[in-house]
Structure 1
Amino acid sequence: MDQIAAMRAFVRVVEAGTFTRAADLLEMPKPTLTKLIQQLESHLRTKLLNRTTRRVGVTPDGAAYYERAVALLSDLEELDGSMTRSQASPVGRLRVDVGTSLALDVLIPALPEFHERYPDIQIDLGVSDRPADLVAENIDCAIRGGEVLDPGLIARRVGEVDFVLCATPEYIARHGMPEHPRDLENGHLAIGYFSPRTGRRMAFDVVRGKETYAFDLPYVLAVNDSTAYFAACLSGLGIGQSLYSLIEPHLETGRLVRVLPGWRSAPVVLYVVYAPNRHLSSRLRVFVDWVAERLATSRVVRRESV
């Protein structure tokens, strides 16, 4: 049995969900694929897959083996790449986790440039505001805002973002335009955002020079996803805090207006974080360097004179 081929076949079956789809992706006959899986299970003396007429699922042993196999095959690709290519041309797959707004507004639009520079790196991009467990989910790195709470992770600061307050003109017509943060406590509503990790709702905070105000406004709707949050802002459900780069096009069309334009939320520091055992990967190293470079010149991270 070619164990490496069998491991690749097993990983592809798990990811594809069916033997037929996996065989197509691997460009091999389905009977050959089936035989490889059977040989692997026989070699390991355990059942890796539960087969039904429509779908293939992994057993508990199969799930554990999948995670280790993915990591091993990734390391093997890295080793092969280091022997056959220069460090300037790393090869392999990267699993990256990033928040929704940053993915849509910064990272994804810039990825064609990354692909042109590193054409042999494949990126599996997890896009969610849910905090991921990098080790348990076999994620190479994540881009996160705010304090990194896990001391077991390596964190590289790559920039900071500013949030500004905004609302629809219709909302302002109903509730009035506040002149000072204190005015927000007189009948105004906020778009609530609660942490996907803790469930706690985030309070508003604004700064102007040395002045700082923090307040917890009533709300009609609270969400735990940044895309839904921005949609709620556009619907006129209350005042929201958003990246200036996201609201700028809507300011130009008049769909949104700035609230308290002389104030902004305290900056949120952005980090690329990864587990210590990932730091030797050349593909991870060039990706982290590229992210830092990209964010350093991004209109999202650069402080706007607004």
Structure 2
Amino acid sequence: MDQLTAMRVFARVVEAGTFTRAADTLKMPKPSVTKLVQGLEEHLQVKLLQRTTRRVTVTPEGAAYYERTARLLADLEDIEADVSNARTRPRGRLRVDAGSSVSNFLLIPALPAFRAKYPDIQLELGVSDRSVDLVGDGVDCVIRGGVLPDQSLVARRIGELEFLSCATPEYLKRKGKPVHPSDLQEGHDIVSYFSTRTGRLVPLSFIPREGERIDVMGRSSVAVNESTAHLSAVLAGLGVTQLPAFVARPHLDSGALVQILGEWQGPPFPLFIVYPQNRHVSAKLRAFVDWAVELFAPFRPRREVTELAARR
């Protein structure tokens, strides 16, 4: 038995919660994963995992073994990085997950520059607006916005997104141009976005120059849970919505969309890069995080960008 491989596989099973998910993230056949863990248990002469039809749970002995082997595997990665010069030339597979609009309009167009700088990193980009289980799914980091439900994660704020209210000229010709957010409550159709995590519709939010925030639900003509589909629905003339400025502006410039309620500012939408608190920050992960911070610099308040530059 290759004990080191068995230790790595065991750690992945603990993190994934099932043999199937561990096998998928390791790109190994499930029988091979099972055999390696069984061989490790026989070698140690102790039960590390309790297996059920749906999930595995860690025994007390298995939890203690995982805690120590996780540190050992992280130290081993550091040693290999030093010997192979990976700290100055990061390498290996890196799994990143990001929302659809951020991926399609910001990340992917910038990836040629990332590849030129880090040619030895094999980037796997999961594109979805759904929440992912970073540890269970074997994801190194995610880029997500809004309120983060899991406070156990390390979250670094990399920007703030501005949202613009808009609709097509054809829609506004049919329905009229609203002059106040309350006009959207009746007589207008809303292209809604609903959360993949909660299933709830996200209201349109407005902050006047003076006064309290106004949230508008209105009548939803259609609701989607994916941000590029959200754009497509608005461009189809299905109603009024709010889009990230970086998504809306090309269509505002072309005349395909018209901005409305421009004097009513939407609340800033924080954007984070997130990774597990106990995840070893490898050279490849550190390289991607630093690159992402630079990429999203235009989305941070000017004061933050100035302070960052001053620290260098």
TM interval, shorter chain, is 0.7 to 0.9
Measured in 2, the distance between the counterparts of 1:234 and 1:94 equals 35
State yes or no: 1:243 paired with 2:244.
yes
Aligned position for 1:197: 197
Contact 1:78/1:90 (8 A) holds in 2? no
Displacement of 1:263: 2.3
Which is worse superposed, 119-128 or 74-83? 74-83
Alpha carbons of 1:279 and 1:267: their partners in 2 closer, same or farther (altered >3 Å)?
farther
User: CA offsets per residue over residues 156-189 of structure 1, 9 Å max, x none?
Assistant: 1111001101111111011001122222223011
Aligned ranges 1:208-223 → 2 under 5 Å: 208-211=208-211, 212-223=213-224
Measured in 2, the distance between the counterparts of 1:77 and 1:235 equals 50
Measured in 1, the distance between the counterparts of 2:292 and 2:184 equals 37
Displacement of 1:209: 1.9
Mark the runs of 5 or more structure 2 residues left unpaired by the alignment: 10-20, 43-52, 59-65, 303-312
The alignment's TM-score, normalised by the length of structure 2, stands at: 0.73
Aligned residue-pair number: 268
Measured in 1, the distance between the counterparts of 2:99 and 2:153 equals 18
Which is worse superposed, 156-165 or 282-291? 282-291
Alpha carbons of 1:18 and 1:120: their partners in 2 closer, same or farther (altered >3 Å)?
closer
The alignment's TM-score, normalised by the length of structure 1, stands at: 0.75
Aligned position for 1:231: 232
- After superposing on structure 2, the runs of 4+ consecutive aligned residues of structure 1 that deviate more than 6 Å are 3-8, 15-19, 36-39, 59-62
Mark the runs of 5 or more structure 1 residues left unpaired by the alignment: 20-33, 47-58
Contact 1:154/1:274 (8 A) holds in 2? yes
Contact 2:156/2:274 (8 A) holds in 1? yes
Aligned ranges 1:152-301 → 2 under 5 Å: 152-211=152-211, 212-297=213-298
Aligned ranges 1:93-108 → 2 under 5 Å: 93-108=93-108
Measured in 1, the distance between the counterparts of 2:272 and 2:93 equals 21
User: CA offsets per residue over residues 24-75 of structure 1, 9 Å max, x none?
Assistant: xxxxxxxxxx9x99985984699xxxxxxxxxxxx9799x9xxx9xx99x96
Amino acid in structure 1 at the alignment position of 2:278:
N
Alpha carbons of 1:38 and 1:96: their partners in 2 closer, same or farther (altered >3 Å)?
closer
Amino acid in structure 2 at the alignment position of 1:264:
Q
Aligned position for 2:132: 132
User: CA offsets per residue over residues 75-100 of structure 1, 9 Å max, x none?
Assistant: 66664233211522122221111110
User: CA offsets per residue over residues 120-166 of structure 1, 9 Å max, x none?
Assistant: 11111111000011111121111110122212111111110011011
Aligned position for 1:111: 111
Contact 2:86/2:283 (8 A) holds in 1? no
Alpha carbons of 1:267 and 1:113: their partners in 2 closer, same or farther (altered >3 Å)?
same
Aligned position for 1:56: none
Contact 2:252/2:259 (8 A) holds in 1? yes
